[in-house]
Amino acid sequence: MIKPVSAALMATALLAIPLASCSSEPAADQNDRAADTAATPQPRADEGSERSTPPADNAKTLTLEGYGGLKIGEPVPAGSDWAARGAQVSDACLTITSPGWPGAYAIVEENRVRRITVDDESSARLIEGIGPGSTEAQVRAAFPTFRASPHKYVDAPAKYLTQPGSDARLRFEIDADGKVSFVHIGMMPTLEYVEGCA
């Protein structure tokens, strides 16, 4: 004898049949779409669409305040890889470099950074976009009040272009081709040293 099926159980079974066949895509297409989604690399939680801004030190921007983690008028930061390498003129004045900042060196006097210099091996630029390799015309257009003085070792048109004043200043060395060979930032009189600490 067949037992009667309850009305509630029969209604549930009847509803399940149409729901299983309601998809507008054939089963094969649904399977293909699922496979495509699985094959597409999904961003990890740490790979958001927004990237964090790199630290200022990585921006390669040279400012009157400093460069490469060094600040004019302040000691070399503890734990920094800026250090004296090779022969030095004296213990009173040190020339320091860092492997992380090629084409740059700093002069330290009385345990404080007095000058930072960058050359054509550096990618450093001022906020105005000027750096080693820029032309004298570009420097004069951006800094028309800088005073010119003859270069100590290179014949004209080589020269120095120095910002007037006594706080942290800028100084450009212009080579015989009319291009910036060095950019210095720092305090007088260290800013005008022509041979590192001399």
Domain ranges within the chain, ordered by starting residue: 56-192
> Using an 8 Å Cβ cutoff, are 171 and 162 in contact?
yes
Dihedral over Cα of 16, 18, 22, 28: its sign: positive
Per-residue pLDDT of the chain in tens (198 residues, 90 and over written 9): 444 444 444 444 444 444 444 444 444 444 444 444 333 333 333 333 333 333 344 458 999 999 999 999 999 999 999 999 877 777 889 999 999 999 999 999 999 999 999 999 999 999 999 999 999 999 999 999 999 999 999 999 999 999 998 899 999 999 999 999 999 999 999 999 998 887
Q: Architecture of 56-192 per CATH?
A: Sandwich (2.60)
Q: Which structure tokens are listed for 127?
A: 């906020």
Q: Model-level pTM?
A: 0.69
Phi, psi of 65 (to 5 degrees): -80, -35
88 vs 96: CA distance, rounded Å: 9
